Structure 1
Amino acid sequence: MATGRGRALASFRMGLEKVQQENIRAPSNTPSSTLKKNEMQSDTTKTKRHETTRKHHRKSESKGATVRLRNPVSRSQNYFERMPPEILLKILSYLDAASLFCIGFVNKKFFELSNNNAMWYRIFTNESEKMKKWKPKQTDEVAEGVNAVSIQEKPEGYWKRLYFRKMTGYNENKWKRQLKAINPYTGLPRLTEQVLRDLRVTWEITVTDKRGRESTVQQTHAYFSDSSVSVCWSDGSWPPFHQLSMLQLHGVKRVALDCPAVNKPGWRSLIAKHDLHDVRERGRVIGSDKLVNLFHLAPGLIIGLWRGHCSVAFVMMNFHFHKLVERSLLGSSICPYTVPEDRPAFDDVDPEYGLHGYTVHILLHNTVKHIMSGHFSQLFCKTDQIREGFIQLNAINRNDLSQHTPLSGKIDLPWKTEGLDGSVQNCCMMTLTVLDEAQNPFWCVSTPITMLLSKQEPVSYDYGGEPFFMRHQDSEGKVRVELVWLAEQGQFFLTNLVIYIATAKVNKHFGRQY
């Protein structure tokens, strides 16, 4: 029994050994062998990787440098850069105008995508359908934008700029109707200030230095009179005055989009451009106080310079109301609005046609108050009174005391910056409007003017005060104002006002040969 049981156990053990030997000799493509092989390879790979990492750390520690291991997730961080442009354009096509405009500030790639003509053309046409006042037939730009080919042929960003331009002036017919109401006292549209405020028109300055770097300054405040507006720019960082090469004035109308005010889109219309390379030769100092010197650049531009530093403290500009709304809205960023000529019909019956029927409105003011306002009608000049290429219009005669006009207050020009303010004496703004016989603006001037002590003996003995005068001259005419300071009354009296208009301007306007 014992012997038989021992033989059975011995044979069972021999069978188990044979099975183990067959499993070891089994082919490598069996599941069990594959699993074992993969486990062995993974263990080997992990071992090699750990050994490589240890060697890398030892090498970096030996060099004394800090080495960061590459993040395995960094390959998939920026999904947008790896997406095709077609997919990105499809995603951006679901944005509204405000979001599409703001996303252009993310980076260069999004800026290029956000200027896509097809997307902005779709936004443009959708807005034109919502606003019935927009008639595509009134815009010649839309006439050819019917098919996709012509849309894409336009320069990049064309429909974006056109959309913002139409958004800023889609009620153009409305404000043009408002400007038809004329003020009989000034001869200018009476609702100019209201239209500018309703449209939220502002003015900005772009200065360029000699290295070509540009900086833009927004207006700080504006003062409206009955025929002009004085705008001041006193905030911001100005380049040194001797490094300025170009100064541009733009009218700006922002679009009411839900985005930051600094980046709000809008339309910029060039009003004036001044080359400042030879500014010291063409300009002149018209006044000063303890802190600033006023440097005048025609027409109507004043640059305030800190005394002793020659750095810019502020810039001041006086805009005449004549076609100011059109000049602030209907020009482009590089080309100003051209005022159309309104020439009357030729009259061959009247031998002195063009020499009579003039109306003059003059306003002396500063950035705070009115100093003097006068309206003079039916001014004329005889043919034999034409002297040295000018026709002479006498508004106030020094020998007629009934025409003499007192001035309210002193003649000064206040200024203000972020931390300082002051006032320049004997300097103010003059706004002159000359209307022709048909009561159309003929010569419009808005400029700073300086009062000087007259060296001539007073002709009239009715006043015992000191005589002063103010004068202005440009290519189209000149103005001379004479005043007397009465110390007892503590005010000035305007005793003489003469307007000279260039004969060449009269001949061109009326078709004459004086």
Structure 2
Amino acid sequence: MEFSETENAEVKSQYWTPMIKRKPSLSIESMPSEILLKIFSYLDAVSLLCAGCVSKRFYDLANDNGIWLKLYSSCFPPKRMIWKINPAETETISLGCATPQGRRPGYWKKEYIFRQIAAVKARVMQLVKPVDPQTGLPCKNREAIRASGLSWVIVLKDTSGKEHVMEQADLSFKDTSVTIFWYSAHWPCLNILSTLELCGVTPLLPNQNRGANTNGPRRRSLIAKYSLSNLTKTSVALGADKLVQVFCLNPGLLLGLWKGKNEIAFVTASLHYHQLLEKSTLGSATLQYVLLPNEPVLDDVDPEYGLHDYNLHLDMHSGTHTCMCGTFKSLFCRKGDIQNGYLRLTVVSVKDNAKHLPIIGTVGLSWRTDALKGHVKDCYLMDVTVLDETRKPFWCFSAPVNMELSSSTSGLYDYMGHIYTTEYADSEGKVSVDLVWLEETKEYFVINLVLYISTKKVNSWYGTNY
């Protein structure tokens, strides 16, 4: 019986399956350990740590003492020691002949990491030693931050517990603070978010030349935690422009929302330098670093004064543009000025025209995203650094504030215009600023500036009982 060519093809397809030789699938994990060790030996320390996170087998191979001893020796050249056998004979032995044998797996990895961390810590400690006499803070905070590899992230958590980590987009350094900006085209929906955590992030192996390494292993230090539930009702609205509305979350956080959409446009944090490195590096991912309490000292002030010889360094800025920056010395408070639990320190008085200060440029907060930018008027960032009589930081903060139009107008002959007020308060004190707007010259003048220090703060600082 004969079949046509088409019928033959159908029969073959039904009753005959050809033997097809398939090439065995290859993957890096199926390679012999000797080959993988050879590959790992070409990796740098950060890449090697990342490779160890792939699997249990990779972790064991990436702990190889031979590879890490090679890295250790290349970064920390061995010192040469002279062993005296007798007074007439000496022998020089190189410590570079150390071998990986006899050590537990991972020994040289730990030694390498500890030495790297110690080297960076020593570098940072050297940078923070010199102190600026005007601010009482380290002169080289910016360099210390970069040397440590420190950066900041915000962690947005939704109601299901999922985390959305946003890397910092930009930084702006001032005399006493750093302002961090986050902006993105892909923010999670505000309606499902429950909290926002501000964290300092440091690489396990910081590189002083490249700064922060966002690809390698890092650790978080929680700085502050904010609730995002009912944000528009529980937070302070500082201002708005045509596109966004700005809200303040204490301490020191600004959150911009797109108008009419209830969606995040940007986030800005203003952090004072005082103990910033400690707060950004020494906490854990869930617990904030607890600042060491001040050790009270005996109060030897003159009986006529409550506080004397205090200094104030004040910086008013938009995050990038400085509106006013100045140092005010020899501030004092008479005991008769202690009222309602506060000691009053007058910095600028309405009656003293010689101390009235002009504001440079337009007061407001500049913001931008990947595609848009804007300017929210009548609000700014205020950095306050109060030094005690020993020039030790006594009260420090950096916070967003706004100006509100007062119902009264200036009665001063030199300043005929509308008066604006700025108020700030926390658990340690209050700041009150009065500004007058001069229409003719289109500028603000600070005509009144008063600090109110909490008696609780003073008593805990000095061990007194005001």
CA contact (8 A) 1:92 1:100 kept: no
Is 1:240 the counterpart of 2:196 in the alignment? no
- The 1:162/1:502 distance shift into structure 2, 3 A limit, reads farther
Partner of 1:272: 224
Partner of 2:293: 341
Partner of 1:494: 446
Shift of 1:190: 1.4
Shift of 1:131: 8.1
Is 1:460 the counterpart of 2:416 in the alignment? no
1:128-143 maps to which residues of 2 (within 5 A)?
130=77
1:335-414 maps to which residues of 2 (within 5 A)?
335-347=287-299, 350-351=302-303, 355-414=307-366
- The 1:71/1:270 distance shift into structure 2, 3 A limit, reads farther
Is 1:210 the counterpart of 2:159 in the alignment? yes
Shift of 1:435: 0.7
CA contact (8 A) 2:342 2:452 kept: yes
- The 1:93/1:79 distance shift into structure 2, 3 A limit, reads closer
Q: CA RMSD in A?
A: 3.7
- Give deviations 1:191-230, integer Å, cap 9, x for gaps: 1123223444322222111111112222221111111111
Q: Secondary structure at the match of 2:354?
A: helix
- Give deviations 1:85-110, integer Å, cap 9, x for gaps: x98997788565244224246x4445
1:162-181 maps to which residues of 2 (within 5 A)?
167-168=116-117, 170-181=119-130
Structure 2: gaps (5+ residues): 1-9, 80-100
Partner of 1:301: 253
Shift of 1:124: 9.2
The number of equivalent residue pairs is 432
* TM-score calculated relative to the size of structure 2: 0.80
Computing the radius of gyration from Cα coordinates, the structure with the larger value is 1
Shift of 1:509: 0.7
Partners in 1 of 2:131 and 2:352 — Cα distance? 31
AA aligned opposite 2:168: Q
Partner of 2:48: 100
CA contact (8 A) 2:124 2:147 kept: no
Shift of 1:129: 5.5
AA aligned opposite 1:101: L
AA aligned opposite 1:339: L
- Give deviations 1:423-475, integer Å, cap 9, x for gaps: 00101110000111111111101011101101235453442111111111111
CA contact (8 A) 2:45 2:71 kept: no
CA contact (8 A) 2:316 2:323 kept: yes
Partners in 2 of 1:336 and 1:169 — Cα distance? 23
Partner of 1:40: none
Q: Which moved more, 1:286-295 or 1:261-270?
A: 261-270
Choose from 303, 316, 319 the match for 2:268. Answer: 316
AA aligned opposite 1:423: H
Partner of 1:142: none
Identity of aligned residues (%): 36
Is 1:476 the counterpart of 2:403 in the alignment? no
Partner of 2:199: 250
Shift of 1:233: 0.7
Q: Secondary structure at the match of 2:116?
A: helix
AA aligned opposite 1:422: G
AA aligned opposite 1:453: L
CA contact (8 A) 1:101 1:114 kept: no
- The 1:103/1:509 distance shift into structure 2, 3 A limit, reads same
Higher strand residue share: 2
1:58-77 maps to which residues of 2 (within 5 A)?
58=14, 73-74=23-24, 77=26
CA contact (8 A) 1:385 1:392 kept: yes
Partner of 1:507: 459
Partner of 1:442: 394
AA aligned opposite 1:187: G
Partners in 2 of 1:348 and 1:367 — Cα distance? 39
- Give deviations 1:304-362, integer Å, cap 9, x for gaps: 11111111111101111112233333444344433333435223675468622221111
Partners in 2 of 1:415 and 1:161 — Cα distance? 44
CA contact (8 A) 2:358 2:444 kept: yes
Partner of 1:193: 142
Shift of 1:81: 5.3
Is 1:429 the counterpart of 2:398 in the alignment? no
Choose from 175, 178, 202 the match for 1:226. Answer: 175
Shift of 1:302: 0.5
Shift of 1:73: 4.8
Is 1:415 the counterpart of 2:364 in the alignment? no
CA contact (8 A) 2:185 2:370 kept: no
Partners in 1 of 2:74 and 2:294 — Cα distance? 35
Partners in 2 of 1:236 and 1:169 — Cα distance? 39
Partners in 2 of 1:334 and 1:117 — Cα distance? 32
- The 1:452/1:92 distance shift into structure 2, 3 A limit, reads same
Q: Secondary structure at the match of 1:378?
A: strand
Partners in 2 of 1:89 and 1:272 — Cα distance? 43
Shift of 1:72: 5.7
CA contact (8 A) 1:271 1:337 kept: yes
- The 1:349/1:442 distance shift into structure 2, 3 A limit, reads closer
- Give deviations 1:231-280, integer Å, cap 9, x for gaps: 1111352111122222222233443499x965233443332222334544
Q: Secondary structure at the match of 1:357?
A: strand
Partner of 2:96: none
Q: Secondary structure at the match of 1:170?
A: helix
Q: Secondary structure at the match of 1:274?
A: strand
